[in-house]
Amino acid sequence: MDLRNMISQTPTGKQLSEYQLNLLSKNNIETLFDFHETTEKKLHELLAIPKESVLEIKKELADLWLRQSQAEGPPAVEYGTGMEELDKLLDSVDQPFKSGRIWELCGHPGTGKTLFMYTLALNFVWKHSQQVLFIDTKSDFSCKRIQDLLLARNWDAATCERVMRAIHVVQAPTDTVLIDVLKTLDEQLTAQVDGALKTKLVVIDSLVPCYVHYRGDEMFKVRQALLTELACRIRRLAARGLASVIGNVSFPSEDKDDCMDDGEDDGNSDEKTARHKDGPMFGAYWASVCTLRMSLELPTGSDGEETSDRLGEATSSSCDDGLRLVNVLSNTYGPAGDSCLLRITEAGVV
């Protein structure tokens, strides 16, 4: 389908006139990729529409392209997380871990989100013999921690070596580097690069260091543009069959500057319990990108006390029994609100 027809199928794009659509062609913007790569400023000036409308069209085009690609693409492959209770929960809410899924794992600092992602990556490469791209934005990926998890599982040396080789770690300390990493992977998939073709899972730990400095109302448009770019990149990979799991941090909803909410209803306003009053980091738009949003929390009544820095990189707990509560916050394919208990062990999250 050509760009003109795709734009005409989006709620915002269908408001463009024939004259405006012709302007795109005259300026060599003829494909979805051309439109996506053109800056918001140029499209704003060319089409004489607000930048907010440009962002909406880009978002709607990405959603449309993903739906069409998934409908036309190969059947989804079910992976499972390797965490038994979590897999039971996800099956019950029609969101099993499979190809093309985009998940977000959020929670307060110190709850074990990074360990959850380590565990998921290890389970994935061990069970499926595929590769994982682990994008480390905090510059704290720990090979020793991975090795400790492997030792606790009593796997043989050959298996441990295979698993370690299959997890490719890339540091991305800024939003620009993060986008470039995802773009490079997409280009390698197009070029049929063998290593890229074996990559079936992307883990981002986490979004916060890349975007936390875009704070306040004056940075709202910049933040939205960058998140739109990120969403488009992740959705392109999802359409190619890659699953993504993205770490994020929750803050109390009254901490407006940290939540960076956009003021829109994210669908969670009816939640009663205190643990569900955390605002969605980066606002309602980002909350709509993922097919599943989960929180990892200390169970109510836990004696543990969390302490952390602003990015959650230095944490401790006075009396932590290892129990964690996973809550389904939002779900594209089924119900939300259900939960299960997991436990942190020497072998990872189980």
Average confidence (pLDDT) per 10 residues, the chain, 350 residues: 87 92 91 85 92 87 77 79 97 94 93 97 95 96 96 95 96 96 96 94 94 80 86 91 93 51 42 46 76 92 45 49 94 92 97
Q: What is the pLDDT of residue 225?
A: 84
Distances (CA, A) of 163 to 18, 41, 49, 84, 124: 54, 45, 50, 20, 9
Q: What is the pLDDT of residue 59?
A: 82
Q: What is the pLDDT of residue 333?
A: 87
- What residue spans define the domains of the chain? 3-72, 84-349
**Contact present, 255 and 235 (Cβ < 8 Å):** no
Place of tokens 């053109």: 38
Q: Which fold has domain 3-72?
A: DNA polymerase; domain 1 (1.10.150)
Q: What is the pLDDT of residue 120?
A: 98
Residue 213: count other Cβ atoms within 10 Å of its Cβ: 11
Q: What is the pLDDT of residue 350?
A: 96
CATH code of the domain made up of 84-349: 3.40.50.300
Binning the chain into helix, strand and coil, the percentages to the nearest 5 are 45, 15, 40
Q: What is the pLDDT of residue 159?
A: 94
Q: What is the pLDDT of residue 250?
A: 80
- Give the predicted TM-score (pTM) of the model: 0.77
